Amino acid sequence: MQHKKRPRPLWKKILFSLLTAVLLMVLCFFVYVSDYYHAKEYQAEAVSADSEDYIVYGDKNSSTGFIFYPGGLVEAESYAPLLDRIAQKDVCCVLVKMPFHLAVFDSGAADRVIRDFPDMERWYIGGHSLGGAMASSYAQKHEDTLKGLVLLAAYPTDTLSALPVLSIYGSMDGVLNRKKYKDSIKNAEICSEIMIQGANHAGFGNYGEQKKDNTAEISREEQWDTTASYILEFFGASDAP
């Protein structure tokens, strides 16, 4: 006599479905983060990579420090040309390496940097795109300990009532959501906005072209030079171009 196979209990079916869904989500996530923009080769003048968490450009004994968060899915070293230019004017630039190249997973990374440089007199923070948004999130909670926030093709996530903000973006930026930018930049009550004519979104870094971006009308070198000059002026270290 043939016995009928007992059906699998409902709870086992539900558990199996949930585990399958989780595994698929994990797989999709790792596929997503593995497709990031790689830094092109650039030789900076003064680099110190004595931490797994960040790279230092310039003199660690400088009185002014600048913590920088990279853009989303962009290799941190892509910002070496820009930070190298700033570091040459006696600013200690600290480029943070983010988990999975996404600053959203470590928006409080600046805490470690500030702790590691206890003698720094003035700290500024900034970032590009998603990195700028996460830097603004950190700045909103630490307005009393920072001197200013630099946003490159980014906008603040919350109100900044007392902290000076420098916002720079390019006229050819095809990635920045202009409507969201216009609505959100109002959160920065002390803000200087600068649009670089001919600059695009990817030109703040050194990782090549970016999807949905427009072609820049100026060279990357010109965009780095101009951006660095405005940032240094904001720090009180140089005149604007």
Please tell me the distance from the alpha carbon of residue 9 to that of residue 146, in angstroms, as a whole number.
58
Query: 134 lies in which domain range?
Result: 47-235
In a domain, 129, yes or no: yes
The CATH number given to whatever domain includes residue 133 is: 3.40.50.1820
Number of compact structural domains in the chain: 1
124-165 pLDDT, tens digit per residue, is 999 999 999 999 999 999 999 999 999 999 999 899 999 999
165-205 pLDDT, tens digit per residue, is 999 999 999 999 999 999 999 999 999 999 999 999 999 99
Task: Give every CB contact of residue 50 below 8 A, 6+ residues apart in sequence.
Answer: 56
In a domain, 26, yes or no: no
In a domain, 3, yes or no: no
In a domain, 73, yes or no: yes
Reported as a pLDDT band with limits 50, 70 and 90, residue 20 is confident
Helices (H), 88-124: 110-116
In a domain, 15, yes or no: no
In a domain, 9, yes or no: no
Instruction: Evaluate if residue 65 carries a pLDDT over 70.
Output: yes
In a domain, 12, yes or no: no
150 closest CA partner among 130, 138, 136: 136
83-98 pLDDT, tens digit per residue, is 999 999 999 999 999 9
In a domain, 127, yes or no: yes
Please tell me the distance from the alpha carbon of residue 229 to that of residue 241, in angstroms, as a whole number.
6
Tokens of 230: 């405005």
Reported as a pLDDT band with limits 50, 70 and 90, residue 18 is confident
